[in-house]
Amino acid sequence: MRKIVDIQKKLLPDLLVVMEKRYDILRWLYLSGTIGRRTLATNLNMTERVLRSELEVLRAQGLLDTAAAGMTLSESGRQLVEEMEPIVKEMFGLSDLEETVRSAFGLKRVIIVPGDSDTSDHFKMELGRAGSRVLRDILSPGDVVAVMGGSTMARMAAQFAIPSQLKDNWFVPARGGLGESVDYQANTIASELAKRTGARYRMLHVPDHLSEEAYQTIMQEPNVREVVDMIRSARIVVHGIGDAETMARRRKLVDETKAELVKDGALAEAFGYYFDRNGKVVHRMATAGLRLEDIEAAGMVIGIAGGRSKGEAIASVMRFGHDDILVTDEAAAIEALRHV
């Protein structure tokens, strides 16, 4: 059954909202017994006319009976509601979890995909797809998007698909180069996104970690300066979330710094910063890329991460409090809630 639901989600994403709308109507009728059109419209937060069109469909299907005193579910309508319960749960079941997570961390929006990214690549792909959909939906003409690196971000970029070309958007890497695989570089991801959408991109050919001296020198370069200015003015920031230890290893931090991080209780990494369990930044450094103040100033910060093992790190970064949207999976969401 799950399969058919998944297929429909892919094939008819625009129609799922209709389904939900109709189900809501039936469900309300199921609970209210007889009720009038206007009352129903108020309760369901619809305008009268829209509700009416839906009611006409439902009536034509013989799911509801109309009398002068109001409308009632017909026998087959009642039956349908009862049979639908588990299916709706399957289809929209994560919405409850989404709402719980959203309010727990005070976010604007939470998207949860089914599964656990730790267990299968399939779920990682789905996470990427979900992330790309979110980004697509909030993208407005003229937006500059700063993207971080990482495998999740790379998958997001690979799954990005839009109905029509973007013309006046920019994708920029949020930070400089890291000693990692080229596929996971922020630079690579920015260019991939731009290529897939017809948007433009800039690259930041600068190492992420700089001495203060080198930083000052390189910022003198006009073309670096220009890109950095654009990065810092990004309206949208998209980033992954890692656990501190893994990231420290990947970044090839010296043992000394690692020990310091452990001492400070660093748990999570995001935007190149390390966070402790309370979402406090425990390690920061000079960077040519996005600084914390730019993140705070950005209009829309989107975090993407999944897998049970990342739950705690996600909770930590969310407590930092500057994310607007979180895209995660079921397992990570549940785990994150344990660390609120």
Q: What is the binding site for its own copies (CB under 8 A)?
A: 1, 3-5, 7-8, 10-15, 18-19, 22-23, 26, 56-57, 59-63, 76, 80, 83-84, 87, 129, 132, 136, 159, 161-164
Least gap, CB of 28 to DNA (angstroms): 12
Q: How many helices (H) and strands (E) does the chain have?
A: 16, 13
**What binding mask, one character per residue, do residues 152-191 give for DNA by CB under 7 A, x or -?**
------------xx-x------------------------
Spatial neighbors of 2 by CB under 8 A, at least 6 apart, are 90
Q: Is 44 in the site for DNA (CB under 7 A)?
A: no
In this structure, what DSSP letter does residue 177 have? B
Q: Is 49 in the site for DNA (CB under 7 A)?
A: yes
Q: Is 198 in the site for DNA (CB under 7 A)?
A: yes
Q: Is 61 in the site for DNA (CB under 7 A)?
A: no
Are 242 and 273 spatial neighbours (Cβ–Cβ below 8 Å)? no
Q: Is 35 in the site for DNA (CB under 7 A)?
A: yes
Please give the angle made by the CA atoms of 128, 129 and 134, to the nearest 5 degrees.
Answer: 100
- Following DSSP, what letter does each residue of 296-335 receive, concatenated? HH-SEEEEE--SGGGHHHHHHHHHH---SEEEEEHHHHHH
Least gap, CB of 274 to its own copies (angstroms): 34
Which of 70/114 has CB closer to DNA? 70
Main-chain phi, psi angles of 153, to 5 degrees: -60, -40
Are 290 and 190 spatial neighbours (Cβ–Cβ below 8 Å)? no
Q: Is 71 in the site for DNA (CB under 7 A)?
A: yes
Least gap, CB of 115 to its own copies (angstroms): 16
